[in-house]
Amino acid sequence: MGVESVNSSNNQSITESAKITEGATVRGTKINKAGEDMDKNAFLKILAAELSNQDPENTKDSTQYVAQMAQFTSIEQMSNLNNNLSFTGATSLIGKVVLLNQKDSYGNQFGGLVKSVVKDSGVVKVNVEVEENGEPVTKAFPLDNVITVES
């Protein structure tokens, strides 16, 4: 039972609950599930919202914003360092056999030899030679899909 809103371009009704199940609120804000990390963009959006909703008669001290920007910079640098360490660690998987938590269309769990490692839009992926329809194929999987590593 969701609240209905009307799309003005085509007068088609859609429910808020349908929008929320897509992983975002009605206003387009990404919904983080419990245990998910917030990214650096989420922090910047919070700061921008705070600035845009500030009461002009009760402004905050500018040093608070400088401190928040310093915190943001620290978070961004730690995030970049974490991504670089993940990539460096993933390169040690090249030439090893891994088991992944994804399954093919027949329900068989993917696994195979890691051929290379790439960073695509900030996401570290391993290119694994797997078997599909009896043929060896190299597919990219996010690093967090690796369950076990064998020599």
* pLDDT mean across residues, the chain: 76
**Gap between the Cα atoms of 104 and 133, Å rounded:** 10
In this structure, are residues 117 and 127 in contact, taking their beta carbons and an 8 Å threshold?
A: yes
Residue 40 has what pLDDT? 67
Range of the domain at 1: 1-31
Residues 113 and 129 in one domain: yes
CATH code for the domain of 131: 2.30.30.30
Residue 4 has what pLDDT? 38
Alpha-helical (H) ranges within the chain are 16-21, 40-52, 62-91
**Count of structural domains, the chain:** 3
Residues 103 and 139 in one domain: yes
Residues 46 and 60 in one domain: yes
Regarding pTM above 0.95, the answer is no
* Closest of 14, 49, 8 to residue 29, by C-alpha: 49
